[in-house]
Amino acid sequence: MESIRQVLAVLLVLGCLGGTLYWLRSKGAARLSVRGFGRSANRQMRLLEQLRLAPQHSLHMVKVGDKVLLVALSPGGCSVLSASGVAMQLEDRVAGQ
């Protein structure tokens, strides 16, 4: 009888952890990714930087091939902003990594 209670307690804790992870992922606060795992060497698109301006507004600097794009995200959609001056400085910084 005691072992059944322990198993149920463990399942309850795992369920709570899973629910919390699901909620955090839906809010964009948690990601499940491991650097160096998968096809990262062959990727053509890479997130260089991310800046959260508000809970639903953010700026993302993305490298696609040889181009660096600044993308603004909001509940109304996304916009690609000009990043001509930023791109050159960022390219130098990324090359130094």
Name the CA radius of gyration of the chain, rounded. 20
Domain boundaries, the chain: 1-32, 44-97
Provide the β-strand partners of residue 47.
62
pLDDT value of position 73: 92
pLDDT value of position 30: 67
pLDDT tens track, the chain, 97 positions: 889 999 999 999 999 999 998 888 887 766 666 555 555 556 788 888 899 999 889 999 888 877 888 899 999 998 888 665 454 455 555 555 5
Q: CA 11 to CA 28: how far, in whole Å? A: 25
Sort 62 into a burial class: Cβ within 10 Å, 0-12 / 13-18 / 19+: middle
pLDDT value of position 15: 96
Provide the β-strand partners of residue 54.
57
Residue 68's CB: how many other CB atoms inside 10 A? 21
pLDDT value of position 95: 56
Residue 59's CB: how many other CB atoms inside 10 A? 15
